[in-house]
Chains A and B, each alone.
Chain A
């Protein structure tokens, strides 16, 4: 809770800065959900968590290029505990100052932010900078402290730095090289890991012809001396309505899972490897109708071969006001207990004031799980726009599955999105 108090204090400290902003955007979602769980052999549970998501974007903070961005959530349980932890919880997802340069896509950030760049997919308290350089080069860098979890955070180090450099030839080619180093990582009981996490990698985008694109990425874990991941995607669009894609990925668990904080689950010490390949074909029959069929073959050293295949169709009608979808997928594993059929269908209608949708999903397991071989959920949702920037909606769902004899869930949702511009209306 002290951590939550610190986050609230940080938010309050930022309010004077927000007052000076020329443009202020406030958006959020308030969720109050109701769930009744009936598990064989256990007392019936009733959980009513109330969760508030809140985002604030303040632009033109004394300078047209300077902005502040905050986003986070808080939750209070109004009945039984909704999680295994506390009755209240929250998180500051991000909070950073950003300066955008008018040229070169230059950007500097300071605060808490996410980095998705090459080998980096990190949550950092620190600073980052990026810019396009002359002659097709680009450079990005970041550094700071990794954001820790409330529990089981021994996989996060004290300091992290990383970056990516790339070279581009317009509409033809991009080659990137990226690296990260995290110091002070405690990886638990193991023999061949060091006290740091270090990844280097490359990414490639290639468009040899206007119909063909190739993307690839590879990462090498220098702390465990092995190729953690290699993934490749080839896309061919021979005509406007048709696209065909092929993919291949391979992971060495020892190197890919090395820095997990749940070693008992993501056991990196097994010497296991996972690879998969497959493809998909998408055909746009007419602009509102699209059909995709896909196949993927998995091979894992310790569990053998598995396949997932199926198809889905999507319809977009009435000038995007009506959207519908239907899909079927089959997962075929070496054992029946891991094989199942999945069928899903949905229909969504949006009007100026109202929205309504129904969504159904069912799973048919080859072998019984906890005495059942079917699971289904039906969910209905209806919404009413009280004002252009304020929408009230509610969901109600009912299901049966191997976990629960009956699962009844309800949710009320208030979504808002307001922009305040100084001088507007004058």
Chain B
């Protein structure tokens, strides 16, 4: 048999094998919803106020993701392995208010009508960045080390 003649039966067998394998390989659990079914109010939410038990698809308790002061400050630990869950309530643009490749406006200015939000660089950060950068330059690097630093380059050539 030549290759063209073999192609069809081999494709059918390969397709059946792939579908069979995938049905065993992939989880059969329903996916997380693309968006939270109900509008979530302004301010910090506590997931466990409405939900009990664990989040399907993430396999962690809802209480883990309560937006406490600690959660907001240390959210990198959670976002780095659960960004799919974050996306259930937050559009990517929510993250991009602070985390972006190129952004000229300080988050505290863009969101100046939300003083309750935990936003960095409030007030005169031009003076303070020299101090904070000396004490812990890694805190600068996370956002400005490889990206979003076109204004840094003006002085730091």
Contact = CB atoms under 8 A, between A and B. Distances in A.
A47 to B, nearest CB: 11
A186 B153 CA distance: 18
B81 A117 contact: yes
Contact of B42 (A55, A282, A320, A401): A320
Interface stretch (A10-18, A188-196, A256-264): A256-264
A224 to B, nearest CB: 14
A313 B116 CA distance: 11
B104 A89 contact: yes
Nearest to B70: A245
B15 interface: no
A390 to B, nearest CB: 14
Interface string A394-426: 010101011100010101010000000000000
A104 B93 contact: no
Given A91-B101, A91-B102, A118-B81, A261 B112 contact: no
A281 to B, nearest CB: 10
A171 B156 contact: no
Nearest to B64: A213
B48 to A, nearest CB: 10
Contacts of A131: 26-27
Contact of B92 (A31, A94, A292): A94
Nearest to B135: A306
A113 B84 CA distance: 13
A276 interface: yes
A123 B101 contact: yes
B29 interface: yes
Contact of B43 (A168, A298, A320, A363): A320
B74 interface: yes
Interface residues of A, number: 138
A315 to B, nearest CB: 10
B153 A102 contact: no
B25 to A, nearest CB: 6
B146 interface: yes
A226 interface: no
A100 B31 contact: yes
A340 B122 CA distance: 15
Interface in A332-385: 333, 337-338, 340, 344, 346-348, 350, 355, 357-359, 361-363, 365, 369, 375-377, 379, 381, 383
Identify the interface centre among A82, A215, A358: most chain B CB within 10 Å of its CB: A215
Contact of B146 (A151, A259, A337): A259
A46 interface: no
A381 B79 CA distance: 31
21 contacts: A29-B110, A51-B105, A53-B110, A83-B150, A136-B59, A151-B153, A168-B59, A174-B60, A207-B61, A253-B137, A256-B141, A260-B145, A265-B152, A300-B136, A338-B135, A346-B116, A361-B123, A377-B124, A395-B109, A399-B123, A403-B126
Given A69-B92, A150-B150, A411-B109, 17 more contacts: A53-B93, A55-B93, A84-B151, A102-B31, A103-B28, A114-B96, A116-B99, A123-B101, A134-B28, A170-B59, A176-B81, A217-B80, A314-B69, A314-B116, A346-B116, A350-B42, A359-B115
Interface of B: 24-32, 34, 41-43, 54, 57, 59-61, 64, 68-70, 74, 77-81, 83-84, 91-93, 95-96, 99-105, 109-110, 112-116, 122-124, 126-128, 131-132, 134-138, 140-142, 145-147, 149-154, 156-157
